[in-house]
Each structure stands twice: as C-alpha cells, then as structure tokens.
Amino acid sequence: MAGSETEDLPLSTAVTHLLEECRMILPGLQALLGFQLVAVFSAQFETHLSHTEQRIHLIALILLAIAGALVMTPAAYHRQTRPRQVSAHFLLLSGRLLLTALVPLMFGIALDVYLIARVILGNVQVSAAIAAGLVACVGGLWFVFPWWHQRAKRR
C-alpha cells in the first residue's frame, strides 16, 4: 500500500525534528502574544469590551503565555541538563510538553476569536458558537485526527 512505509529515526534525528517543531510553533505564538499585549493599550479596548470580556482577554493572554512557556521548555531543559546528549526520556518529555502546549494555545486562540467576533458581530451567542466551532475544528485536527489515523493504521 502506498504511503505505508515507515523508517525508524536515530534518536538524535528525532530530537532535532522535535526541537524544529517547537521552533516552528514559537513565532506564531509570539506574534499572537504581541497582538494581545498591544490590544490592551488601544483606546477601544475599554470602550468595546465589557469588564468581563477584558478578563476573558487576560485569560487568553495567560493561556498563550503558558503555551509559549511549554513550547520553550524542551530547549531550556536540554540546555540546562544534558546539552551534549539526547535520550529517549528527553524525546518523550519534550513531545509531551509540545502536545500539552497545544491545549492552552487552542483555548487562548478560541477566546480571542470569541472577543473579535463579539466586537464585529455584536452577538454573544453567535460569537460563542464560532469560538466553540473553532475549538472543535482545531481539537479535531490536532488531537482526534492523529489518534484516529494511528488507530486505523493498527487495524
């Protein structure tokens, strides 16, 4: 069957790939975090968002900061523990940190989309539905699809 070939990577190559994946996610996270920080200093922040929505923005900001910290942790951990060695433990730990980072990233983005939709559409229910749909879509692509694909390959 086409596409069914697999190849085991040497540990050093697998770690390199994982750290590159972290590096790919980080610029987007930094950009989102930057936009969130700038938004607070906009004159419209207080006039367009209720106090509750301002707190939602703060929660989204915190979630993205947590996601950023989780994405950067493998590199910090590696630099401080064994910078000249790689291990299966490091690969597993780093992979889990990266996957864990996707959860607050997903919810942080969804909360920001909710706020933007609410400002543009003026409708809380529609904005909440859009944000929930985004969580379902992103969660499906990031978590359900890989799980389903692995399960289907095992059959």
What average pLDDT is seen over the chain?
Answer: 92
> Which amino acid belongs to residue 20?
E
Evaluate the CA torsion angle 92, 96, 97, 102 in order and state its sign.
positive
Model confidence at 43, pLDDT cuts 50, 70, 90, reads confident
Cα 47 to Cα 40, 54, 82, 119, distances in angstroms: 11, 10, 50, 10
Closest C-alpha to 22, from 78, 60, 61, 62: 78
Residue 1 lies in a domain: no
Residue 32 lies in a domain: yes
Residue 17 lies in a domain: yes
Residue 2 lies in a domain: no
Residue 21 lies in a domain: yes
> Domain range for residue 131?
11-154
Greater pLDDT, 152 or 128: 128
What's the average model confidence in pLDDT over 127-151?
A: 96
* Count of domains for the chain: 1
